[in-house]
């Protein structure tokens, strides 16, 4: 195999579709028996990516170790809360000549580790493959529909980033490279929290002024935390930062925006999450963002209020008042 993907959700399936269209021999691992059988019979993931048939270059497997060992480039596309267990399953068979690329936009709850930090912790002291992360404004369905998409691939090993860049780029999908793996991962995770806030705001009919303020002040607090943790400011002004933030804060198909919108309409978090099999990473990332801001002593008022709405049953209108009436300061 030239590539392999762990995770048969919407993003993993769309990415497999993209790689297959590039005529790359790709294996996709799926844990759910129903989805695997459906793909084997119809080549369609009717639960997470209905309406698209994966090309013959893509094969399907229920054997995670066989899939992980089958390719030189391995993409991890599972929700952050499942990543550690999945990584433990594949750690014994990974090789130093492989590149493992995280497609997950989240921060592990509790440990507060980024996905590549979890990888390093799980893979060592065994052979450590080269690590990278792919992020940016990239809705799965739009990638499947061949809408022009631009992403960024970050790695501390520049040759690995360039190798993945050339492997996955074509006229529909353009990849840039970065050495700022900290910034790319943090931006990709934290933007989901701001998207929840924007969904709440739109449901309350606060208007475009409010949305623009949330996006702008959101990137400001994301950058503050990123800089404290060693990221580069320019990363937050690029595809992984402002690019992905604008996407998730302005599009109804964003799962995180949708969660916020439904909360703003007065529904409970439990009811909103129960209606869809898809994971909204912003719900758990809100906890990690709150904990990281407290640990690092970084002021993140929007993330703090989203946490209070999600987990302390605070009224969204009360949160807005508290945000607007904070001590006045310079920008």
Residues noted as catalytic:
191
- Distance separating alpha carbons of residues 230 and 232, to the nearest angstrom: 7
Q: Are 19 and 3 in contact (CB under 8 A)?
A: yes
Cβ neighbors of 150 (< 8 A, separation 6 or more) are 136, 137, 174, 175, 176, 239, 243
CA distances from residue 103 to 132, 172, 296 in whole angstroms, order as listed: 9, 18, 26
* Helical ranges in the chain per DSSP H: 10-21, 33-42, 64-69, 80-90, 115-123, 140-144, 158-168, 181-203, 208-228, 244-250, 255-264, 269-274, 281-296, 301-311, 316-324
- Distance separating alpha carbons of residues 5 and 13, to the nearest angstrom: 9
Vertex 212: Cα angle to 210 and 214 (nearest 5): 70
């Amino acid at each position: 195999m030239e590539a392999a993907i762990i995770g048969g959700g919407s993003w993993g399936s769309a990415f497999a579709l993209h790689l297959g269209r590039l005529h790359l021999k790709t294996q996709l691992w799926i844990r759910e028996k129903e989805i695997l059988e459906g793909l084997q019979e119809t080549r369609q993931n009717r639960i997470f990516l209905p309406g698209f048939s994966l090309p013959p270059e893509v094969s399907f497997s229920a054997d995670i170790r066989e899939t992980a060992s089958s390719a030189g480039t391995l993409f991890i596309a599972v929700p952050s809360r499942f990543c550690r267990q999945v990584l433990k399953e594949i750690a014994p068979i990974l090789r130093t000549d492989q590149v493992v690329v995280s497609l997950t936009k989240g921060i592990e709850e509790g440990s507060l580790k980024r996905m590549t930090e979890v990888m390093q912790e799980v893979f060592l002291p065994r052979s450590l493959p080269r690590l990278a992360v792919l992020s940016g404004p990239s809705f799965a369905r739009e990638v499947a529909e061949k809408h022009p998409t631009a992403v960024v691939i970050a790695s501390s090993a520049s040759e690995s980033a360039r190798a993945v860049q050339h492997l996955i780029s074509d006229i529909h999908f353009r990849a840039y490279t970065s050495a700022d793996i900290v910034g790319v991962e943090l931006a990709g995770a934290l933007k989901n929290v701001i998207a929840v806030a924007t969904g709440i705001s739109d449901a309350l009919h606060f208007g475009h002024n409010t949305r623009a303020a949330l996006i702008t002040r959101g990137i400001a607090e994301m950058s503050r935390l990123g800089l404290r943790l060693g990221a580069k400011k320019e990363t937050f002004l690029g595809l992984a930062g402002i690019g992905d933030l604008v996407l998730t804060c302005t599009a109804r198909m964003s799962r995180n925006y949708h969660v916020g919108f439904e909360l703003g309409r007065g529904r409970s978090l439990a009811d909103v999450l129960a209606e869809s099999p898809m994971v909204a990473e912003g719900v758990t990332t809100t906890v990690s963002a709150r904990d990281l801001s407290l640990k690092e002593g970084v002021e993140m008022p929007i993330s703090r209020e989203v946490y209070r709405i999600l987990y302390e049953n605070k009224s969204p209108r009360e949160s807005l008042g508290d945000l607007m009436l904070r001590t006045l300061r310079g920008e």
